Amino acid sequence: MASVLVFIDVPGLPLPRASRELLTIARGLGDPVVASPRALEDDVAEALGNCGVAAVYEPEQALPDVLVAAKAAFLADTVRASEPAAVLLGNSFEDREVAARTGVKLGSGVITDAVAVAPDLSVTKSVLAGSYTSTCRVQNGIPIITVKANSVEPESAPVPAVPQRHRIAVSDAGPAARVTGRTEKRVSGRPELSEARVIVAGGRGMDGDFSPVEDLADVLGGAVGASRAATDAGWIEHSAQVGQTGKTVSPQLYISAGISGAIQQKAGMQTAKVIVAVNKDPDAPVFEIADFGIVGDVFSVLPQATEEIKKRRS
Ligand code: FAD
């Protein structure tokens, strides 16, 4: 069976859900093998083996600190060495940039925002702000596909493997921006927005006070998202923006609070499995795509929901 190369930048254990999802998809297409841009601890390699990974490719020497350029050079060299049937990556900004650069280096076609990959390597994706589902296939080279988080339920491998370890001599990364300093990001304890299973997002209707959104997200173990109106107003950091020019998310549950539902917002969240909208305007466009709609004031509805969930959990 042909191998399917999964690019995973795993800092440690436990293996992130998004990585286990990619490995589940890869197992449906062939033999999963992993390209890790950093040397792996033995217990991480063993955990990958438990997901059915037959081989792990690591750089011979630590990659230079040049943002994604070195990761793309490493991935391209790994593809040349392993000749997989396809390459899968996550759908974060960084993964998509690695995919794009790798595609250029290999002359391969790249498909982003996939929600499913069939055994014949045709890819399903949601397009035009989520109004259509399209099926497409790479025509040139080895297909490079970035897959949205929460596209499948991660499953463990029926037969664990002991991965063979391969070292890849990485060619020059080419022109690249070098990192000159780093500042620790404030840790919220919440899941990463693009991988979260539950997102509570607030818009202009929050009127500068995101605490009801944060409280509800925290009782649900979810991430906090926002419309562009809220991030532009400086009520919450720009990395929380969901939509056409923000993050594309696909959670199991998306709670939209005080967001009108403009097309650019819908573009980033329309593929959520269940959408709950809270808006005081019964004609708000968000209700057109909501599975459950609550016409009401966010400052009354959100705290009530938070209290009720807390009560039922205690
Ligand atoms: P509004 O449209 O002002 O809606 C606020 C809503 O809150 C209203 O429906 C109102 O009824 C409701 N409300 C007010 N008070 C309350 C209350 N107390 N209780 C309940 N409901 C209340 N937008 C994005 O979100 N993401 C993007 O990535 C994005 N990219 C863009 C790219 C381009 C090129 C352009 C032109 C625009 C983009 N936008 C994006 C902006 C988008 O068009 C909208 O302007 C924006 O989404 C509106 O944000 P909002 O829904 O929070 O605000």
Atom index in ligand 1 nearest the CA of residue 278 equals 20
Atom of ligand 1 nearest to the CA of 261: 51
Same domain, 112 and 206: no
* pLDDT value, residue 129: 62
262 close to ligand 1 (CB < 6 Angstrom): yes
With pLDDT > 90 as the criterion, what percentage of the chain qualifies?
82
**Cβ of 303 below 6 Å from ligand 1:** no
Asked if the structure places residue 289 within a domain, the reply is: yes
Same domain flag for 162 and 288: no
Q: What percent of the chain is predicted at pLDDT more than 70?
A: 99
Let me know whether 24 and 105 are in one domain: yes
Do residues 30 and 152 both lie within one domain?
yes
Q: Which atom of ligand 1 is nearest to the CA of 281?
A: 11
Each residue of 198-241: pLDDT tens digit?
999 999 999 999 999 999 999 999 999 999 999 999 999 999 99
Residue 141 has pLDDT above 70, yes or no: yes
Does 181 map to a domain?
no
User: Do the Cβ atoms of 163 and 40 come closer than 8 Å?
Assistant: no
What is the rounded average pLDDT for all residues in the chain? 93
pLDDT at 158 over 90: no
Query: Could you tell me if residue 180 is inside a domain?
Result: no
Residues 15 and 77 in one domain: yes
Q: Compute CA distances 100 → 126, 144, 249, 290, whole Å.
A: 19, 9, 20, 34
Domains in the chain: how many in total?
2
CA dihedral in degrees (133, 137, 143, 148; nearest 10)? 10
Q: Is 206 in the pocket of ligand 1 (CB under 6 A)?
A: no
Residues 111, 245 within the same domain:
no
CATH code at 240? 3.40.50.1220
pLDDT in tens, 263-307: 999 999 999 999 999 999 999 999 999 999 999 999 999 999 999
* Domain finish residue from 112, 134, 168: 168
Average pLDDT of the segment spanning 125-132: 75
16 and 160 inside one domain: yes
Domain harbouring 38, CATH code: 3.40.50.620
Question: Closest ligand 1 atom to the C-alpha of 244?
Answer: 28
Whose CA is closest to 53, among 97, 11, 84? 84
**Which phi and psi (to 5°) does residue 191 adopt?**
-65, 160
Q: Is 19 in the pocket of ligand 1 (CB under 6 A)?
A: no
Ligand 1 pocket test target in 279, 295, 298, 300 with most atoms within 8 Å of CB: 279
Protein residue whose Cα sits closest to atom 13 of ligand 1: 205
Give the global pTM: 0.68
| Predicted confidence (pLDDT) per residue in 70-97, tens digit | 999 999 999 999 999 999 999 988 999 9
**Nearest Cα residue to atom 38 of ligand 1:** 264
pLDDT tens-digit series, residues 12-58:
889 999 999 999 999 999 999 999 999 999 999 999 999 999 999 99
User: Within a domain: residue 174?
Assistant: no
- Across the range 178-186, mean pLDDT stands at 82
| Residue 299 structure tokens | 């400052």
CA–centroid distance, 257 to ligand 1, in Å, is: 10
What local confidence, expressed as pLDDT, does residue 240 receive? 96
User: Which residue's CA is minimally distant from atom 49 of ligand 1?
Assistant: 229
Same domain membership, residue 238 and residue 132: no
Q: Are residues 14 and 154 in the same domain?
A: yes
If one residue of 238, 259, 300 were mutated to test the ligand 1 pocket, choosing by the most ligand atoms within 8 A of its CB, it would be 259
Distance of CA 45 to the CA centre of its chain: 22
Which ranges of the chain does DSSP label H, i.e. alpha helix?
17-29, 42-50, 69-82, 93-106, 211-219, 228-232, 263-269, 298-313
The reported pLDDT for the residue numbered 176 is: 80
Residue 177 maps to a domain = no
How much is the pLDDT for 130?
Answer: 66
For the Cβ of 298 lying below 6 angstroms from any atom of ligand 1, the answer is yes
Q: Are residues 7 and 156 in the same domain?
A: yes
Residue 186 has pLDDT above 90, yes or no: no
Residue 183 lies in a domain: no
> Could you tell me if the CB of 279 is within 6 A of ligand 1?
yes
Cα–Cα distance measured from residue 263 to residue 267, given in angstroms and rounded to the nearest whole number:
6
Q: Give residues with Cβ within 8 angstroms of 243, minimum separation 6.
A: 227, 228, 264, 265, 266, 267, 268, 269
pLDDT at 10: 77
Residue 66 in this model has a pLDDT that exceeds 90: no
Please report whether residue 73 resides in a domain.
Answer: yes
Rounded to an integer, the average pLDDT of 157-176 is 88
- Report the half-sphere exposure of 271 (CA within 13 A, side-chain side): 25
Q: Find the domain containing 82 and state its range.
A: 3-168
User: For residue 51, what is the DSSP state?
Assistant: T
**Residue nearest to ligand 1 atom 19, measured at CA:** 297
Inform me whether the pLDDT recorded for 127 exceeds 80. no
Cβ(44)–Cβ(11) below 8 Å: no
- Count helices and strands (H / E) in the chain: 8, 14
For ligand 1, the distance from its centroid to the CA atom of residue 287, given in whole angstroms, is: 13
- Whether 186 is in a domain gets the answer no
Identify whether residues 52 and 9 lie together within a single domain: yes
Co-location of 11 and 115 in the same domain: yes
